[in-house]
Structure formats: C-alpha cells, structure tokens
Amino acid sequence: MKFLVTGGAGFIGSNVVDGLIEAGHEVVVVDNLITGKRGNVNPKARFYRVDITSPDLEEVFERERPDYVNHHAAQMNVRKSVDDPMYDAKVNVLGSVNLLELCRRYEVKKVIYASTGGAVYGEPLYLPVDEDHPVNPLSPYGVTKHTVEHYLYFYGANYGLRYTILRYPNIYGPRQDPHGEAGVVAIFTEKMLRNERPTIFGDGTQTRDYVYVGDVVTANLLAIDKGDGEIYNVGTGVETSVNELFKLLKEAVGVDLEPIYGERRLGEVYRIAITNDKIYRDFGWKPQTPLKEGLLKTIEYYRRRGSAIS
C-alpha cells in the first residue's frame, strides 16, 4: 500500500514514516520544512517540499495516487497559536481542508489524523480525561485541531471517506526539536547536556502525560486497519509534573543543576493526563515504554547527535 505522510520530515511524522517503511509500505512524504528537517526523512521515502495549504499539493496526488494519508502536518506550537491565531487557522484548518478535498477527489481509502489530547479538552473536569470529556480548548491550536475532527466527520458522512483520529498527549523521543518552543523533554535534555539551566514556565507543579514516540508509531500502524470513524486518546493516563520530569532528566543526564522559573504562559492547561482504555479495547494498544526508559533512549539520541559537551 502507498501512504502519503504530511509532516513526514517532522519529529513524530518522520518516526511514523520509518514505521510504515519497516512494515513494508511505500511512503511519500510532504513537508514544507518550516519546522521539519530534510535529514529526518527516510531515504526509502519519496519527498516533496510542498505546503499543505498550496495548490501544488494536487500535483503530488496526481502523480502518486496514495491509498492512505497519514496527516501530521500542522502548526503545533501552542504559544505561537496564541500570538498568531490567523496563521494557526490557515495552516491547521485551511491546509487540512485542502488535503481532505484531494483525498475525496483522488479516492483515498483512509485518513489517519494526528489530533491533540493535550490541548482540545481544556482544563480537565476530571482526570484522566477520556474521549467523552467536554471539549473546551484554551488555545487556538486546540481549537483548530478539534475543528479538523469535525471536517473528517463531514467527509466521512457525506463522501464515505474512512478516517481514524488519534489524540496525542506530550510525545517525546528522538528527533524532537530542542530549539523550538514546544518539546520540553528535548529542550531540557539539550540544556542539561550543555550544563545549562533550563527554564520552567510556571511553578513546575503543572502536569503532562508523556508518551514515547515509538509507542505512538505503533498506534498509527494499528489505525490502518482499525478504528474507522472513531476518536482515540493515545495516553498513559498518568500525570507527571514538570518538576518531576526535571528531576528524572537531571538524574539520567547526571548533572547538578537547578531550574530557572519563569512566568506561566497563556493558552496552556495546568493539568492533563489522557486515558488509553478505548484504544486498548479496540486496538490492544497500551504504551510499552516506561518514562524513565524513554528518557534514557532520548538522552542517548542527543548524546550521539553531538549535543553533549564532553
């Protein structure tokens, strides 16, 4: 089968590309390289430097005729979405509609969509959050990611386009960009490897649900044949505070540093953890990588990449 992966030069998308190729699929990658990196793209995949908002995207569909689309391309920075909601909406909503129109016209069999469980629900009424929790996003990013879920329902109900929605928590692991505004594990890790003090925005008691990227790849592979028309949280159901994450990384890297505390940022929830009961029931999926193990794998990646000062 032939897959088109949008955002396939990015952190999560490129790992998904690797998983698809290892599973024996043919893969085409579309990425504008604004945040993605050409070096992340598996050499066995065909690469097109195209923005999902561009009319040029149709040329890729015309040439490649993909069977499946795995949609990871997005403006995914919560703080940027607050500062520039127009840009966020252009990329995440209009770009996705452009993509879905092409999926309809070129008779794509199914779309697997990377949504967010960390941002769509807003400040949770209960924890861990399940798929039935009210959706009240606190950021334009959460609003736009959820909006595309409704467009998928529309295309499914009216045109028979199959889809599965995966709502991610905080994903971490190899290839996460330590120089962006998102990706606290990567940012903290690279700072510590340079013996620099990372900044925690807020008092550090805010919590997140951390899932290793390799486990997310497995969920994407299972979604090829399962979960049509459904939304799934892809979480651990466990809260980890930023202070606790800092401590775990500090111990794993082997440094004696204290964080710098800065002001809490707008648009971010205070606490979040999302369930995996539904995806376990339907897919048999649960995260297989404990946090400490995943952090060690991530640290090793950045050491090999040359981030260490030693």
Task: Establish whether 141 is a catalytic residue.
Answer: yes
Averages of pLDDT over runs of 10 residues in the chain (310 residues) are 98 98 98 97 98 98 98 94 97 98 98 97 97 97 98 98 98 90 88 96 97 98 98 98 98 97 91 98 98 98 70
Whether residue 20 is found in the same domain as residue 166? yes
Residue 310 lies in a domain: no
Whether residue 219 is found in the same domain as residue 196? no
pLDDT of residue 308: 38
pLDDT of residue 179: 76
Kindly name the residue from 68, 121, 141, 232 that is annotated as catalytic. Answer: 141
pLDDT of residue 265: 87
CA of 223: how far to CAs of 13, 25, 30, in Å?
15, 14, 20
> What CATH number is associated with residue 245?
3.90.25.10
Whether residue 114 is found in the same domain as residue 204? no
Residue 281 lies in a domain: no
In this structure, are residues 1 and 68 in contact, taking their beta carbons and an 8 Å threshold? yes
Residue 309 lies in a domain: no
Domain extent at residue 150 = 2-171+210-233
Whether residue 124 is found in the same domain as residue 193? no
Please count the structural domains in the chain: 2
Whether residue 147 is found in the same domain as residue 186? no
User: Whole-model pTM?
Assistant: 0.96
Nearest alpha-carbon partner for 267 in 75, 77, 11: 77
Q: 11-22 and 213-222 are packed helices; what angle lies between their axes, rounded to 10 degrees?
A: 50
